[in-house]
Structure 1
């Protein structure tokens, strides 16, 4: 089955494999961050996990938004770049926080955040 992005009339606006990679990474990161925040909220010592919960919640929101914006690849100015740059920044911050905790869910979240930041950075690089 073809990727739906390949059917878009403005499909030449982006490098489709890199666009798909960024959308998929952002979607995975949003889901992972949501689960990590919920796991932290329901775990022991919640008071020590407040920053992690907060960053994971923020990261999930910006990643969902990024995936949604990138799923509409028609030419719409450069505002998408600002969204992707914000996603990269929040993902890096969240990865740093999550990697400082020993929980398996935090370690998995940190990796998902790094993967998303890398995929988005690559997309920006090929879009120049």
Structure 2
């Protein structure tokens, strides 16, 4: 695996974990927006991006570009909630989007 991917993979891993936690914490709670739906999509986007980078896929940059878009959306949605787990999720999503954009560039 290329070390060039390392920071992005780590950001995707953290985002995946924080989104999963947000999803679990939001279970049974009402939401006025797309949280926790965005967390489901973000988890999948991060997982696929990690797999593509680990495989040094020629499509890794494209997956990372899409992952950044999904992370931006999730950060916006979760960031609107005051819950600590939502704020943590939003922060991880912002960092992941930033690293994925660098990877996609």
TM-score, normalised by the number of residues in structure 1 = 0.75
Residue 23 of structure 2 corresponds to residue 37 of structure 1: yes
In structure 2, the residue matched to 1:27 is 13
TM-fit CA distance, 1:48: 2.1
Larger Rg: 1
TM-score, normalised by the number of residues in structure 2 = 0.90
Deviating 4+ runs (over 4 angstroms): none
* SS of corresponding position for 1:52: coil
State whether residues 41 and 49 of structure 1, in contact with CA within 8 Å, keep that contact through their aligned partners in structure 2.
no
Q: CA RMSD in A?
A: 1.6
In structure 2, the residue matched to 1:59 is 42
Distance 1:90 1:30 in 2: 12
Residues 109-124 of structure 1: pairs in structure 2 closer than 5 A: 109-124=89-104
State whether residues 92 and 117 of structure 1, in contact with CA within 8 Å, keep that contact through their aligned partners in structure 2.
yes
Give unmatched runs, 5+ long, in structure 2.
none
Distance 1:58 1:68 in 2: 15
State whether residues 40 and 49 of structure 1, in contact with CA within 8 Å, keep that contact through their aligned partners in structure 2.
no
